Amino acid sequence: MSADADAPVALRPPRHRVSPRAVRWWTLRAALGWLVVVAAEAVWLAVGPVDATVQAVALAATVAVALAHAIGMPRWRYRVHRWEAAPEALYTQAGWFDQERRIAPVSRIQTVDTARGPLEQLLGLATVTVTTASAAGPLRIAGLDRRTADALVHELTLAARAGADDAT
Amino acid sequence: MSPGDGWRRLSPRMLAVQPALELVRAVPALLGVAIVGSGSGRGGQWALGAAVLIAAIGTLRWLTTSYRITPDQVQLRRGLLRRRVLSVARDRVRTVDVTASPLHRAVGLARVRVGTGHGGRSGERALTLDGLKAAEAARLRGELLHRAAPAPPAPDAADAAADADAAPVAERELARLDPAWIRFGPFTLSGVAALAVAGALAARFASEAHLEPEDFGILREAADHVLGAPAGVAIAEVAAVLAVVVALLSTGGYVLSSWGFSLTRHAGGTLHVRRGLLTTRAVSIEERRMRGVEVAETLLLRVPGGARCTAIATGLRPGGGAERGGALLLPPAPRAEAVRVAGLVLGDPGVATAPLTPHGPAARRRRCARALTPVAAAAAARLAAPPRAGGPAWPWIAALALLPAAALLAADRARSLGHALAGPWLVVRRGSIVRRRSTLARDGIIGWTVRRSFFQRRMGLATLTATTAAGRQRYAVLDVDEAEALRLARAATPGLLDPFLAAPPGDRYEAASRSGAAAGSSAGSGAGASAGSERAARSS
């Protein structure tokens, strides 16, 4: 313990945000999802409307919700998704209604995975998932800049290899 | 055990056991065949044919299964068309579970299950040697678990001899079944499942044999009596009968699974649990894998003052499947006994009784809100939309009746909440339906999760979860004051959180640190003084 326990301290948010391009990624993903719903409603309205006014209103409402979600969600998420890697521990934060912060000692890290979906590849992003020997909650950092992700994975893999015991 | 090519068959006595076991396992399928076949009027013949086939498969399985134990591997080879070899490295063996069904015992055999300590992970299956002579099974267990120091593997013969020499003196008994504990049997509710299974089987047999309940005088009289009585009396009678039957079955289940129970500690570094009346079971847990102990009391068990004790060990997950009950250290027994056993297993009697810091009024408010909101909402919805055209009134009555029950539950949940840091242990208690006091080794903690919902943030609370590779994988300190959560985490894993700390910013943290001052300021400093500060906080 470095500081004395009496000093008022708090867990501060992790230092780094994910890549700003992640906003575009989340927007794109949300938009694609909503597009399917909106298209289905539009086709129904065009081909065989049961009650044209009600359906038109529903379509308009869907579009409004979709716009709000696709524009609002990524910006909010960009504000709350944070991460930080210290020499001894990895620290992540996510969630806006239920805020969750996870800390894992680097010495207990077992696997470090990188995943890149099609949209992420397009935008040069990557998702890093770090697991420990516990089945409870791996640490996940989504929307990292690809170069940052590679550096982080490299660093964590080296550190995890250094602590070569069972890690349980 | 001769090294080299030494593949051996399982005991030939299995030829008597295996087909019978396969038949028992296949009873539902056989019934199905008989029922399907009964359309053609030859169900019995079909079932007989299937039974012969199953017995033949059992024999074939014995013929095609062999195993060998090399200096560094246990291997099982099986399969006729698709040969498979399962290998387990001997230094990976974490648990050895020896069970013997009544059939096995009749011919002096046992089944040995070798666990690799990743029982929870999907895809990784334990290796089962079904059908070793009982003595050989016991010897194999000692040999696999009590490797004398991690030195180069000794020649097998010497190993076995050393084990045989050491065994009688090196084992110390920690607990043994007291027949008076059977009084906890009715409170375990294990009879509910048995009753359901028995009921389903009876219904199936009845329909298969074209029996009508009406044909039995007793059943008919009972039915007439119940149908004739006023509704209230009938319900009370049926409930009383069910309660008695379930209690009897539960007691039977308790005796079946716990008779002859003993917990011993072997000097080689393992805990042994033996139990079972008909099917005997002997489980060995490596103490190296132990990360703590859990004392659990169900609401029902609390009536007679009982509790059970389970191990928190890596590779042993509480839950279903073949591992079920593998972590049990003490069947339902008096609370004091569970606490005593927990202390003995942890090697620190003080921990099991260490006082806990309660979570305070904010946590209680939150428990109440969580329990009462859904019920109150249901009642309110009913009030807001009064029954038109005589809708049923019972949902509303039910919601009203549930209200006090929910309030009691919330109060009990809040009372259960508590945590403490006692030396190398983190102690956490929570729950009402099942109240668990988990003692987790601090060095078994491999990460933290701090979760704060919208409502928790408003109340300055947080849920601090210690993640671990053992037992349930996560142990949560529910609804604890934010400042206290941080203090606890910092004291439990010194230095881990330090890079991420800062002086609290002015806004939302202020309330938290102010309300946490009672716990925080009375603390001395650091991990060493934590136990003392918890006592101080408790007494204040």
Q: Residue B24, exposed/middle/buried by CB under 10 A (0-12, 13-18, 19+)?
A: exposed
Tell me what pLDDT residue B150 has: 42
Q: CB distance from B451 to chain A under 8 Å?
A: yes
pLDDT digit string, tens, across residues A108-138: 888 899 999 999 999 999 999 998 888 887 9
Contact in structure between B247 and B191 (CB atoms under 8 Å): yes
Q: Reduce the DSSP state of residue B314 to 3 states and report it.
A: strand
Cβ atoms < 10 Å from Cβ of B444 = 26
Name the closest residue on chain B to residue A102, using Cα atoms. Answer: B449
Read off the tokens for B286.
């490596």
* Rounded (5°) CA angle B420-B521-A88: 60
Tell me the residue length of chain A: 168
Q: CB distance from B448 to chain A under 8 Å?
A: yes
Tell me what pLDDT residue A15 has: 93
Q: Which residues contact B41 (CB under 8 A, 6 or more apart)?
A: none
Cross-chain Cβ contact A104/B447 below 8 Å: yes
Task: Please tell me the distance from the alpha carbon of residue B212 to that of residue B203, in angstroms, as a whole number.
Answer: 10
Q: pLDDT by residue for chain B (540 residues), tens digit each?
A: 343 477 888 888 888 887 777 777 777 777 777 776 666 666 677 778 877 888 788 788 888 888 888 888 888 888 878 788 888 888 778 778 899 988 888 889 999 988 776 544 444 567 888 888 989 898 888 888 876 434 333 344 444 444 444 444 578 999 999 999 999 999 987 777 778 877 887 777 777 667 666 667 777 778 787 777 787 788 888 889 888 988 998 999 899 889 999 999 988 888 999 999 988 889 888 888 899 999 999 999 999 999 999 999 887 776 644 456 678 899 999 999 999 999 999 998 889 889 999 998 999 999 999 988 888 887 777 777 665 555 566 767 777 788 888 999 999 999 999 999 998 999 999 999 999 999 999 999 999 999 999 999 999 999 999 999 888 899 999 999 999 999 999 999 998 999 999 877 654 444 444 444 333 333 333 333 333 333 333 333
Task: Please tell me the distance from the alpha carbon of residue A52 to that of residue A50, in angstroms, as a whole number.
Answer: 6
Mode of pairing for the β-strands spanning B306-313 and B290-298: antiparallel
Read off the tokens for B273.
């649990």
- Best A1, A82, A107 residue to mutate vs chain B (most B CBs within 10 Å): A1
Cross-chain Cβ contact A8/B502 below 8 Å: no
Cross-chain Cβ contact A6/B447 below 8 Å: no
Q: CB distance from B180 to chain A under 8 Å?
A: no
Residue B357 has what DSSP assignment? B
Cross-chain Cβ contact B500/A167 below 8 Å: no
Task: Please tell me the distance from the alpha carbon of residue B100 to that of residue B110, in angstroms, as a whole number.
Answer: 5
Task: Please tell me the distance from the alpha carbon of residue B121 to that of residue A136, in angstroms, as a whole number.
Answer: 12
CATH number of A82-162: 2.30.29
Q: Residue A88, exposed/middle/buried by CB under 10 A (0-12, 13-18, 19+)?
A: middle
Cβ atoms < 10 Å from Cβ of B235 = 12
Q: Closest Cα to residue B328, out of B115, B88, B97, B93?
A: B97
Sort out which chain A residues have CB atoms less than 8 A from B465's CB and list them. Answer: 136-137
Tell me what pLDDT residue B153 has: 38
User: To the nearest 10°, the Cα dihedral for B88, B93, B95, B97?
Assistant: 40
Q: CA A43 from chain center: how many Å? A: 33
- How close does chain A come to B328, measured CA to CA in Å? 21
**Would you kindly state where each structural domain of chain A is located, as residue ranges?**
18-78, 82-162
Tell me what pLDDT residue B9 has: 85
Q: Tokens 């009396």: give the residue.
A: B233
Q: Which one of A11, A97, A134 has the shortest CB-CB distance to B450?
A: A11
A-facing residues of B in 95-134 (CB < 8 A) are: 120-121
Contact in structure between B527 and A28 (CB atoms under 8 Å): no
- How close does chain A come to B201, measured CA to CA in Å? 38
Q: CA B90 from chain center: how many Å? A: 26
Residues from A contacting B (CB-CB < 8 Å) are 1-12, 14, 84, 86-89, 91, 97-105, 108, 132-137, 139, 167-168
Name the closest residue on chain A to residue B120, using Cα atoms. Answer: A135
Cross-chain Cβ contact A135/B120 below 8 Å: yes
- Which neighbouring-strand residues pair with B470? B314
Contact in structure between B536 and B374 (CB atoms under 8 Å): no
Task: Please tell me the distance from the alpha carbon of residue B406 to that of residue B375, in angstroms, as a whole number.
Answer: 8
- How close does chain B come to A144, measured CA to CA in Å? 20
Question: Does residue A123 come out as left (phi exceeding 0), alpha (psi in the -120 to 50 range) or beta?
Answer: alpha
Read off the tokens for B111.
């089944």
Q: Tokens 């090399």: give the residue.
A: B70
Sort out which chain A residues have CB atoms less than 8 A from B526's CB and list them. Answer: 1, 4-5
Cross-chain Cβ contact B450/A101 below 8 Å: yes
Task: Count H helices and E strands in chain B, helices first.
Answer: 18, 21
Cross-chain Cβ contact B498/A3 below 8 Å: yes
Read off the tokens for B296.
């659990």
ipTM confidence score = 0.88
- How close does chain A come to B537, measured CA to CA in Å? 15
Cross-chain Cβ contact B512/A6 below 8 Å: no
Cβ atoms < 10 Å from Cβ of B82 = 6
Please report, as a single letter, which amino acid is at residue B436: R
- How close does chain B come to A15, measured CA to CA in Å? 9
Task: Please tell me the distance from the alpha carbon of residue B6 to that of residue B18, in angstroms, as a whole number.
Answer: 23
Contact in structure between B313 and B289 (CB atoms under 8 Å): yes
Question: Does residue B61 come out as left (phi exceeding 0), alpha (psi in the -120 to 50 range) or beta?
Answer: alpha
Cross-chain Cβ contact A168/B494 below 8 Å: no
Please report, as a single letter, which amino acid is at residue B173: E
DSSP element (H, E) containing B127: strand B127-133
DSSP element (H, E) containing B432: none
Q: CB distance from B463 to chain A under 8 Å?
A: no
Q: Which one of A1, A8, A103 has the shortest CB-CB distance to B526?
A: A1
Counting one residue from A and one from B, how many pairs have CB atoms under 8 Å apart? 147
Q: CB distance from B536 to chain A under 8 Å?
A: no
Per-residue CA distances from B266 to B74, B95, B287 (Å): 22, 14, 10
